[in-house]
């Protein structure tokens, strides 16, 4: 079983919809949680970064972390066709392991006009 | 552009050949990472450097793989005796060590195809 599980989708939504992306994890040592966006044949781009449990909002994006359930989410409001990409969750334990990110499989999102 | 750069962007090679990739991190970043990403999967950690010291290596990094960061600036990743299973996107990321975890910025990747 992988340390981080992410539904690969694909997910297709109409423009303007609210998108919910999720990851679950098994390693209770994870303390730092990130969401990356990756366009086709490009490197991942950092969207959101959260430490421990709680919510964080940045424009149309909201990241939520529930450490008790080992579950993280990314919400995209008013989705746009330009949001079409693969969304990757990533996590790290901090401490001596904080150089290493463990990624989910990625969810492919398509927002159609 | 002051982001992470990687060269070459694409590499096609025959099985058994050696290949070398280069990564140039963001100039003030002291940490550098290599990841490998296969089609439909998320990146998998390979190794990372703090300045010129290689601090962690994944079990994925077999003895055919070697990485260096000789002066704490750019890094090279060499794969010897390539196999078809080495075909993947090789991603480099850099960060500046700070409190807690560090924010990693990724390059565009080098796509390797082994025939």
Does B46 have pLDDT greater than 80?
Answer: yes
- B98 pLDDT band, cuts 50/70/90, is low
Q: Are residues A55 and A73 in contact, defined by beta-carbon separation less than 8 angstroms?
A: no
- A51 pLDDT band, cuts 50/70/90, is confident
Q: Report the distance separating Cα A13 and Cα A43, nearest Å.
A: 24
pLDDT of residue A98: 61
**Cβ of B99: how many Cβ atoms within 10 Å?**
7
The average pLDDT across B93-107 equals 81
Does A97 have pLDDT greater than 90?
Answer: no
pLDDT of residue B9: 96
pLDDT of residue B61: 84
- The reply to whether A23 touches chain B by the CB within 8 Å rule is no
- B28 pLDDT band, cuts 50/70/90, is confident
Give the count of Cβ contacts less than 8 A between chain A and B: 67
Cα–Cα nearest to A71, from A2, A18, A5, A19: A5
B8, B42, B105: best mutation site toward chain A, by most A Cβ within 10 Å?
B42
The token pair at B4 is 């992470």
What are the angstrom distances between the C-alpha of A37 and each of A23, A41, A67, A86, B18? Answer: 14, 12, 22, 6, 32
The average pLDDT across B8-29 equals 96
Of A63-77, B62-76, B93-107, the poorest mean pLDDT is in B93-107
- B90 pLDDT band, cuts 50/70/90, is very high
- The reply to whether A39 touches chain B by the CB within 8 Å rule is no
The average pLDDT across A32-59 equals 91
| Percent of chain B topping pLDDT 90 | 73
pLDDT of residue A82: 96
Contact yes or no for B42 and A43 at CB 8 A: no
Rounded to 5°, angle at Cα B94 from B93 and B96: 155
Task: Sort out which chain A residues have CB atoms less than 8 A from B4's CB and list them.
Answer: 43
* Residue among A94, A101, A104 whose CB faces B45 most closely: A101
The average pLDDT across A35-41 equals 93
| Percent of chain A topping pLDDT 90 | 77
- The reply to whether A32 touches chain B by the CB within 8 Å rule is yes
CB within 8 Å of chain B, chain A residues 50-79: 51
Contact yes or no for A92 and B111 at CB 8 A: no
The average pLDDT across A29-57 equals 91
């Amino acid at each position: 079983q992988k340390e981080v599980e992410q539904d690969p989708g694909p997910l297709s939504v109409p423009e303007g919809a609210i998108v919910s992306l999720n990851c679950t994890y098994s390693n209770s040592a994870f303390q730092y949680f990130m969401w990356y966006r990756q366009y086709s044949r490009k490197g991942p781009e950092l969207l959101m970064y959260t430490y421990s449990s709680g919510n964080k909002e940045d424009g149309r994006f909201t990241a939520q972390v529930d450490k008790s359930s080992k579950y993280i989410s990314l919400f995209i409001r008013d989705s746009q066709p330009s949001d079409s990409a693969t969304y990757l969750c990533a996590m790290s334990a901090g401490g001596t392991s904080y150089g290493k990110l463990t990624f989910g499989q990625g969810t492919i999102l398509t927002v159609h006009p | 552009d002051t982001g992470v750069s990687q060269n070459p962007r694409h590499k096609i090679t025959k099985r058994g050949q050696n290949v070398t990739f280069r990564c140039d991190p963001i100039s003030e970043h002291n940490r550098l990472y290599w990841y490998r990403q296969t089609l439909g999967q998320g990146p998998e950690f390979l190794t990372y450097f703090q300045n010129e010291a290689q601090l962690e290596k994944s079990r994925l990094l077999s003895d055919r793989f070697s990485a260096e960061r000789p002066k704490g600036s750019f890094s090279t990743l060499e794969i010897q005796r390539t196999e078809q299973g080495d075909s993947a996107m090789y991603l480099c990321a850099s960060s500046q060590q700070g409190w807690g975890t560090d924010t990693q910025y990724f390059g565009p990747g080098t796509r390797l195809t082994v025939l």
